[in-house]
Amino acid sequence: MNAIRSAVLGAGLMASVGAAPAVAQGGASFSLGGGLTLPLGDFGDAAGTGFHGLAAVSFVPANFPVGIQVDGMFHRLGVDDDPVFGDVDANFQIIQGTANVVYRFANSPDTKVRPYLIGGVGLYNFKLTGDDVPDGFGSDTDFGVNAGAGFDFVAGSVGLFVEGRFHNVFTEDDNTNFIPITVGVRLGGG
């Protein structure tokens, strides 16, 4: 557990150090957020609604609607109770990194609400954690894609955002699908 916290803290620290020079350029921003993770399909049959945290660095050039965003997320979703054994102390843990294209819709500079589309590719690491996980369960890393939409609520160089993305991970037997709904703060980006 401490290793997970250290890894997430280290990734956030590295992202923030890398974001500082980029934010100074005017079109770059650093984002922190969190929210609910909703499992879908077969994954939804095995996991309950969970939570996630996000750290991201993005750059959308001035006067151009298309930019890039690199982000990392940590998700934890509880394993649904077993019908035979009852309560199970186990969680699905997902650590992901994605590279995305961001399209910001054109609007007036005075507009405080700015919609955008986001989508891209990434790597997703899945692991079962908890006291009831049998020894020998390792982790799996798989390729995936994501697409979604959001809204920035702008107030100078600091703003809020709300975003939802559909993630499709190409896991061994079936694809694993989930939707994180994120609320957060965005620094920079002018």
List of domains in the chain: 2-16+29-188 (2.40.160.20)
Residue 63: which region, alpha, beta or left (left: phi > 0; alpha: psi -120 to 50)?
A: left
Higher pLDDT, 182 or 19: 182
Write out pLDDT tens, residues 48-107.
999 999 999 999 887 889 999 999 999 999 998 766 446 778 899 999 999 999 999 988
Q: What is the spatial distance between Cα 52 and Cα 77, in angstroms, rounded to a whole number?
A: 9
Residue 103: which region, alpha, beta or left (left: phi > 0; alpha: psi -120 to 50)?
A: beta
Q: What is the spatial distance between Cα 146 and Cα 169, in angstroms, rounded to a whole number?
A: 8
Rounded to two decimals, the pTM is 0.81
Query: What b/e string do you get for 34-57 counting C-beta neighbours within 10 Å, with b at 16 or more?
Result: bbbbbbbeebbeebeebebbbbbb
What is the residue type of 51? F
